[in-house]
Chain A
Amino acid sequence: DVKVTQSSRYLVKRTGEKVFLECVQDMDHENMFWYRQDPGLGLRLIYFSYDVKMKEKGDIPEGYSVSREKKERFSLILESASTNQTSMYLCASSFTDSGSHPSYEQYFGPGTRLTVT
């Protein structure tokens, strides 16, 4: 079974704090993703990575950065947390395209509900 784990289920931080959200997958997937999910807006892609040390901006990268030093681990960093970053954060991983669909299926972690006060 593919397993994607996230460091915390719930997190409460203060405005201006630096926040680290960690994600680990155990299936040797090349691709990893960070999303945030807000009511009525669905899942929005923040950043993704298709290889170690590689990263690409998603649709809403402002206020976030990422780090991928090892294949299995992808970290999301909020340099200075703000109240509008209160959200559910979901990490996902997938294989790189091999021409067949299952390789693009994304496997999600349980999510981290972050509250910034």
Chain B
Amino acid sequence: GQNIDQPTEMTATEGAIVQINCTYQTSGFNGLFWYQQHAGEAPTFLSYNVLDGLEEKGRFSSFLSRSKGYSYLLLKELQMKDSASYLCAPWGGYNKLIFGAGTRLAVHP
């Protein structure tokens, strides 16, 4: 079967660091995407991991462990505009992404 698990909600303070975890079980696996979705808007691409390890992209980094079925998204120097939902999406092959329910992050001053 296919299962993606990420926390439903998180809160953090402006300027802090937050880590959003994602564990997954999929029938096929070629890589993992993270998307950001602001309320009422479409998801937008944040990062992609295909190999184990950390991919850094400015304030955002994403980590993957294929053997553990685990990924996390790390957001540094949090800003108010980072308040959004973050969707973990393993790529199961054949052009299909499988989306988790998302983690709603609230950043407070």
Q: A residues near B, CB below 8 A?
A: 4, 31, 35, 40-45, 48, 50, 58, 90, 94, 96-97, 101-102, 104-111
Partner of A106, one of B40, B97, B101: B97
Are A105 and B48 also in contact (CB < 8 A) when A42-B87, A43-B43, A110-B42 are? yes
Task: Using CB atoms and an 8 Å cutoff, list the residues of chain B in contact with chain A.
Answer: 4, 8, 30-31, 33, 40-45, 48, 50, 87, 91, 95-102
- Complex Cα spacing A88 to B101, Å: 14
Interface Cβ pair total, 8 Å cutoff: 54
Jot down 20 A-B pairs with beta carbons below 8 A, ordered by A: A4-B42, A35-B99, A41-B101, A42-B4, A42-B87, A42-B99, A42-B100, A43-B43, A90-B42, A90-B43, A94-B95, A101-B48, A104-B30, A104-B48, A104-B97, A105-B48, A106-B45, A109-B42, A111-B41, A111-B42
Main secondary structure of the interface of B (DSSP, over half): loop
What residues on B are CB-neighbors of A40 within 8 Å? 8, 101
In the assembled complex, which residues on chain B have CB atoms less than 8 Å from the CB atom of A106?
A: 33, 45, 97
Bound complex: CA A96 to CA B94 (Å): 9
A31 in contact with B95 (CB, 8 Å): yes
Task: Assess the A48–B95 pair: CB atoms within 8 A.
Answer: yes
CA distance A104 to B49 in the complex (A): 12
Distance A102 CA – B87 CA, assembled complex (angstroms): 17
Nearest-neighbor residue (CB-CB) of A58 within chain B: B96
Hey, which chain A residues are within 8 Å of B4, CB to CB?
42
Measured between beta carbons, the chain B residues less than 8 angstroms from A50 are 95
